[in-house]
Structures are given as C-alpha cells and as structure tokens.
Amino acid sequence: MSIANPKSTSLDSRRRMTSRLLAFALIGLVLLVFVAGIVMATSTHSGEQFAVDGFQRRSFSYYEMFGIRLSATDYFNNTGNLELTLAKKKWITATGQKPKDDQWITIEHTTGGRTFVSDVQILIDYLEMTSPQGAIDLAAWSTNNPGYAAIMWPEVQTAAQGNMFILVPDIIHHMLDLSQDSRNKWHRDKKAPKIEDLSKEELASFIAQQTKTGTDSLYPFLQDLYLEAAKAAQDANDKKRAKFCYEQVLRFSPGSAEIQAELDKFPAELTAEPAKEEAPDETKSSEDESEK
C-alpha cells in the first residue's frame, strides 16, 4: 500500500490553482479588451450647424457604435439675438421656414477628441461680437448705423450664399472704417446726437445719407474684391466659387463684356455649394424648436 507524498500533493494543488488563476486572468484580459473596444467604438458626436436663411443656428448631438447610430439626433436652437434682429429689420433674408436638412452647413463637429471646423466659423465669430467686452459690438453698431447696416448685412448674406465666408471680414471692416471716417457728414463723434435723440425727419435723412454713402463706397469695393477672389478661385481650379464671384462682379458692373466672357466659360448648371459634412439624419431626429 503506497502512501501519497504530502509535498507532491501540495505541489499539484498549487499548480492547479495557478492554472485557474491564469485562466481567469486571461478571460479578464479578453473581457477588458472587448469592453475597451466597445467604448472606443462608441463615440459622441456633437457640434453646431448654420443655415444662410435667417442666419439660423442649431447645436446637435448623437451617439454611434461601430458606425451605427445608437440614438436620435438631439437639436437645440442656437440662433442669437443679433441674428434675430437682422431678420426682424429685414437686413437679411429670412423666410421664416424651417431649413431643409441639406440647407444646414456644419460649423463645427466634434467626435473622438477631434474637431472639424468650417469656414462658416468666420461669420459666427463676428455674429458673436455683440458685447461691450468684445473687439466689436456689431449689435450696437448696426443699431447706431441703420443705413450702413442695411447695405452691409445683405452683402454678408450674399457672400455666405456663395460659400465665400472668407470675404466676410473685408466686408464688415470696410463698413466699420467708413462709419468712423471723419469726412462723413454724419460721423458719430462726441458732438453727434444719439440715434434715439433724432427726430423722425432727422432719422430719415441720417439713414438716407448713410445708404447713399455706403452704396457708393461698398459696391465698388466689392466689385474689386469679388474680381480678385474670382481669379484666385480660377487659379485653384475651384470653378463653382469662381463662377459665383464673376456673377457678383457682373452684378456691380452690368453689361461688362469682359466679365460676361469669363462667365461664358462655365457650364450653365454650375452653382456654388457650401462645403459641409454630412448632416445628421433628419428622419432619426427630434428637434427642440425653442427660441432664445
């Protein structure tokens, strides 16, 4: 009759225990990698979009896993007070209708720690300059210069329609400089009356003078600006933008045979389109239409 060696039995027990621990550790590692993969594949998408009609803005967010949408897109109306004022004053076109999904242009889109920012941000930066702490208070400036505002903002919107947001700073600063020109009869220095103190007749005269001065100054400036931009777009082989810019030059210089000859080089159906990321699927979304 053989007697088991206690040392051998204890060694076998430790080996089995070690094997089980290694198996559990391996299973745990596999689960950890699996869970980490799911977490990494699950991404939060968020950002903001812009519509040229009425300068409307909305934020959005949704979740994805392995490229599959996990949630409906949530929207929130981000249209600012300045934009609402511009539409109310009819300084920009606003149909009052909800833009279609393909009319929303991505301003920024953040996912996975990366952020995409489009040229629209150029205009947004100016629209948000509405506080005294900012470099420019465009809300106050527009109120104090209604004639200039009525000339400037439609041209800003036109540039946006042609995906020429890069021209927005030139347009705005040209009018800001004009409003500070000391040669202007209605230059608002310390001796000038406040806009709210003007009588009805004085206000009408003020607006008429600003409208004429603004038109005489801005339109020739824009003609040169768009011509330069058209040539730059042609050099970059950006036919849609080039055609749009030549169309604007012709608007300021109707009957120009030279510009018409340039336009005749482009296909009739060629139109400028805003560069944008694919918009969230509207059929899978619920939108908060609350106003600010």
Within 13 Å, how many C-alpha atoms sit on residue 212's CB side? Answer: 8
Contact 280, 73 (CB under 8 A): yes
Question: What whole-number distance in Å separates Cα of residue 110 and Cα of residue 187?
Answer: 44
Q: How confident is the model over 38-85, as pLDDT tens digits?
A: 444 457 778 899 999 999 999 887 766 666 666 666 778 989 999 999
Question: Measured between alpha carbons, how far is 220 from 165 in angstroms, rounded to an integer?
Answer: 19
pLDDT greater at residue 272 or residue 100: 100
Query: Percentage of the chain surpassing pLDDT 90?
Result: 50
On the CB side of 172, how many CA atoms lie within 13 Å of its CA?
23
Query: Per-residue pLDDT tens for 13-29?
Result: 666 666 666 666 667 66
Is the C-alpha dihedral spanning 176, 178, 182, 187 positive or negative? negative
Average pLDDT over residues 274-278: 47
Rounded alpha-carbon distances, angstroms, from residue 144 to 129, 137, 179, 232, 262: 15, 11, 10, 35, 40
At 38 the pLDDT is 45
